[in-house]
Amino acid sequence: MTAVSFTEESFSALKDEIDDWVRGPGEEYANTIEKTGSVPASLFGDLKSRGYFSLAAPEYLGGQGIPFDRYLELMEIFSRSHGSVRMLVHVINGTWRAMEPFATDEQRENIIKPSVAGDVLVAFTLTEATAGSGADIRSTVRREGDSYVLNGEKHLITFGVKCDYWLMAARIEGSTGKDGFVALLLPNTGLAGVEVVDDSETMGIRGTDHAILRFTDVRVPASARLGDEGDGLAVTLGGFLLPSRVSVAMSCVGLAERAQELAVEYANRRETFGKKIAERQAIQFMLAENYADIAAARALVLEAARAFQTGAANAGILSSASKMIAVDMITRVTDKALQVHGGQGYWKRNTIERVYRDARAPRFEEGTNEIQKQVVARSVLNGTAVY
């Protein structure tokens, strides 16, 4: 798809197009993924050909230049589909942000632009089995001439099996704090000393590959470094995780909307004792609470998105706060939506069962709520929180 400048008219048409895709081909893909446990190659190709991987990137990278806060309106729609669809669109539309400010011209041409085009897949590679909040990582590198020697282990790495590059976070041996943090673009090309374990059997977002990665004295050219030594924390946290938290929060909104839609449809169809359950006050209260919950979370997510878009000082705290609220919201909404379905909701033949499972993943994506609460509390206590 050729990149075009953002206009309200084109954006409105794009939203309608995505909604039609989600309700049509997207549902067919969802059923296939649930049956097979894997994402068909045709799905990736379909999303790529429609330009859905290049929505948020600027035009000079081959993207469509849609502002972040408006792009999230599209993420809201995608998130009503299968979790693997949402994951593909979310990750590929986000990793360029981490790389672009620190990339060399060669990295930009050979990795970032192809990533935006959907020709190269980059996996964000931070979390470890014994660490994961960022500065506590234990994977290390040591400099030997024109190379780094990498040791460590990563887990829960989305697309870590099939990706072309790992956007790797490590620290220089013996260092502490942010100054020793390094980001590397490591090719997934069978490097000596790399073990890739497929760890894709998950509760929800079936079909998305996840990896455990082990690195033993892996020699990496220094030219694979992204930015300077010490830039790694800015690459991983500011460049990717801050906006990604807001995107995950909006994915909660979109999936909650789908759960609510399913609950309303079922309530208007199901009868007990000669009466539609939609006429029963207990059901009405659940649906009313869901509506208010979704609307409140959506408003905060969009506020956080606008703060990031404009570079506001409170963008970081709003990013964490929006994810806190949205994650708690989707937990309540999907639970009530499943309850509206009664026993029927427990069976896999009903879409709400899949939605309920997919809704659990955001509770640990891009940092658990416990981490987000620490971030928010720190800002509140030191007086930097702005209301």
Stretch 238-251: mean pLDDT, rounded?
Answer: 91
How buried is residue 42: exposed, middle or buried, by Cβ count under 10 Å (0-12/13-18/19+)? Answer: exposed
The pLDDT tens digits of the residues spanning 55-103 come to 999 999 999 999 999 999 999 999 999 999 999 999 999 999 999 999 9
Four-way CATH pick for 122-229: 2.40.110.10, 3.40.309.10, 2.40.30.170, 3.40.50.300: 2.40.110.10
* Distance, CA of 238 to CA of 227 (rounded, Å): 14
CATH 1.10.540.10 for the 8-117 domain, yes or no: yes
**Same-fold call for 8-117 versus 233-381:** no
**What average pLDDT score do residues 160-164 get?**
96
pLDDT tens track for 95-121: 999 999 999 999 999 999 999 999 999
Domain 233-381 has CATH 1.20.140.10: yes
Q: Which residue has the tokens 């290049």?
A: 54
The chain-wide mean pLDDT, for the chain, equals 94
Q: Per-domain residue ranges for the chain?
A: 8-117, 122-229, 233-381
Q: How far apart are CA 227 and CA 229, in angstroms?
A: 7
Cβ contact 193:151 at 8 Å: no
The dihedrals phi and psi of 173, each to the nearest 5 degrees, come to -50, 130
